[in-house]
């Protein structure tokens, strides 16, 4: 009787926590890119995250001033390990252990790490691509050794260029030549029950194909059933692109994997259909939309990170559009209203 009471109490509490979690709808985070020479300090930035109720952050490297500012904040962190450090952590377990000790363990008492995302958009022809999976393995072992294996998942972020086929979504598959890298990544993630991180730029797909892709389809404002892919149909490009990746994973032994959208957004200047209004519509619709999952994975919230917190005026790489993805001006005023709940 007593045991049964305890069991049902636990179930009840469990349900309560699950519910309060989804009701809060706090799954959408923001990427903190820092290629600007006019940006507010890390402390001011983390204050702005709190003020705007942004509960998750993606960092591209473990900058200690940022990690210090995150102490005690309760903001969940996707922590990047930059490409330039892949070789070092792949080369020895003790270097990976030091990386985790110095950049994670030192902060773990009052910073909530969710992932270490090892490498960003590593391409097969990058000189360091051979180090990616060994680096993931060493960092994963270091995280376990530090006693953090049940709290922090290790993954890597890929972009849509890994797909050969992406249309219709059910036909999604990876390019043959990327499998030399994707296959061990998928095997690692399946083993570790870690999600794949995916930088998903609906904007670039739309802008590169605006003769065939409607702006409304890219902005989540088209009619249901705009694209038919029996037995499913698609109302928006975001779902179609994400399901193409789900299909590709199913074809490659990764059907059990979850996908976290580690970057998406809409720029306000510098390209086709770039303006404040379209960016406002995209990001607000995105926040409402991701609660519901995709046609292939309905009802399952998609963990998502908007790119980016600020415009980044130091970015030199053309096209110019790269500089204008920010939600906020350097003076911390919103460029347009985005509601994080």
* 116-148 b/e (C-beta count within 10 Å ≥ 16 → b): bbbbbbbeeeeebbbbbbbbbbbbbbbbeebeb
Ranges of H-type helices in the chain: 2-24, 42-51, 64-70, 86-91, 93-103, 132-145, 179-192, 202-208, 215-218, 237-250, 276-289
Active site residue 263: yes
Nearer to ligand NAG, 103 or 262 (CB): 103
Structural contact between residues 144 and 183, judged by C-beta atoms closer than 8 angstroms: no
Total residues at interface with ligand NAG (CB under 6 A) = 9
CB of residue 142 to ligand NAG, shortest distance in Å: 10
14 binds ligand NAG (CB under 6 A): no
Nearer to ligand NAG, 42 or 62 (CB): 62
Q: Which residue from 25, 26, 35, 61 is in contact with ligand NAG, where contact means CB under 6 A?
A: 61
Nearer to ligand NAG, 53 or 102 (CB): 102
DSSP assignment letter at 100: H
CB of residue 104 to ligand NAG, shortest distance in Å: 9
* 281-310 b/e (C-beta count within 10 Å ≥ 16 → b): bbbbebbebbeebbbbbeeeebbbbbbbbb
CB of residue 78 to ligand NAG, shortest distance in Å: 14
Nearer to ligand NAG, 117 or 199 (CB): 117
Q: Considering only the C-alpha atoms of the chain, give the largest distance between any 2 of them, rounded to a whole number of Å.
A: 69
Q: Which residue from 33, 40, 62, 119 is in contact with ligand NAG, where contact means CB under 6 A?
A: 62
CB of residue 324 to ligand NAG, shortest distance in Å: 27
Peptide bond into 319 cis (omega under 30): yes
CB of residue 189 to ligand NAG, shortest distance in Å: 21
Nearer to ligand NAG, 139 or 306 (CB): 139
Residue sitting closest to ligand NAG (CB): 102
Long-range contacts of 211-214 (CB under 8 A, 24+ apart): 213/237
User: 133 is written with which tokens?
Assistant: 């999976």
CB of residue 180 to ligand NAG, shortest distance in Å: 25
User: Which one of 76, 137, 263, 303 is the catalytic residue?
Assistant: 263
Nearer to ligand NAG, 81 or 249 (CB): 81
User: Which one of 87, 121, 269, 301 is the catalytic residue?
Assistant: 121
3-state secondary structure of 36: coil
Nearer to ligand NAG, 99 or 113 (CB): 99
One character per residue 77-116, x = contact with ligand NAG (rule: CB under 6 A): ----xx--x------------xx--xx-------------
Active site residue 337: no
- Distance (Å, rounded) from C-alpha 294 to C-alpha 234? 9
One character per residue 117-156, x = contact with ligand NAG (rule: CB under 6 A): ----------------------------------------
- Distance (Å, rounded) from C-alpha 63 to C-alpha 39? 15
Residues 6+ apart with CB under 8 A from 301: 22, 27, 290, 291, 292, 293
**Helices 179-192 and 132-145 sit at what angle, rounded to 10 degrees?**
20
CB of residue 22 to ligand NAG, shortest distance in Å: 34
Give the residue numbers annotated as catalytic, written as ranges. 121, 263
Which residues of the chain form contacts with ligand NAG (CB under 6 A)? Answer: 61-62, 81-82, 85, 98-99, 102-103
């Amino acid at each position: 009787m007593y045991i049964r009471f305890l069991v049902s109490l636990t179930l009840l509490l469990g349900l309560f926590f699950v519910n309060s979690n989804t009701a809060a709808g706090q799954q959408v985070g923001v990427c903190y890119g820092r290629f600007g020479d006019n940006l507010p300090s890390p402390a001011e930035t983390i204050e702005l995250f709190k003020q705007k109720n942004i509960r998750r952050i993606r960092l591209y490297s473990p900058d200690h001033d940022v990690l210090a500012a995150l102490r005690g904040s309760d903001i969940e962190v996707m922590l990047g390990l930059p490409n330039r450090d892949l070789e070092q952590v792949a080369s020895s377990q003790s270097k990976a252990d030091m990386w985790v000790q110095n950049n994670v363990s030192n902060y773990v008492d009052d910073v909530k790490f969710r992932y270490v995302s090892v490498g960003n958009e590593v391409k097969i022809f990058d000189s360091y691509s051979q180090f990616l999976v060994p680096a993931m393995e060493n960092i994963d072992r270091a995280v376990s050794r530090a006693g953090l294996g049940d709290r922090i998942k290790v993954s890597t972020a890929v972009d849509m260029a890994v797909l050969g086929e992406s249309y219709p979504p059910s036909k999604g598959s990876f390019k043959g030549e990327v499998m030399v890298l994707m296959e061990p990544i998928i095997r690692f993630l399946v083993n570790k029950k870690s999600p794949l991180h995916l930088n998903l730029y609906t904007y670039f797909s739309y802008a590169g194909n605006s003769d065939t892709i409607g702006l409304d389809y890219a902005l989540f404002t088209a009619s249901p059933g705009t694209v038919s892919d029996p037995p499913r149909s698609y109302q928006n490009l975001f779902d179609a692109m994400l399901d193409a990746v789900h299909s590709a994973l199913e074809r490659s032994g990764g059907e059990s994997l979850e996908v976290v959208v580690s970057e998406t957004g809409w720029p306000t200047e510098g390209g086709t259909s770039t303006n404040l209004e379209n960016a406002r519509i995209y990001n607000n619709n995105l926040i409402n939309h991701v609660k519901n999952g995709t046609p292939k994975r309905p009802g399952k919230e998609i963990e998502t990170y908007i790119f980016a917190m600020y415009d980044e005026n130091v970015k030199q790489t053309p096209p110019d559009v790269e500089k204008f993805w920010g939600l906020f001006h350097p003076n911390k005023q919103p460029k347009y209203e985005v509601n994080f709940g």
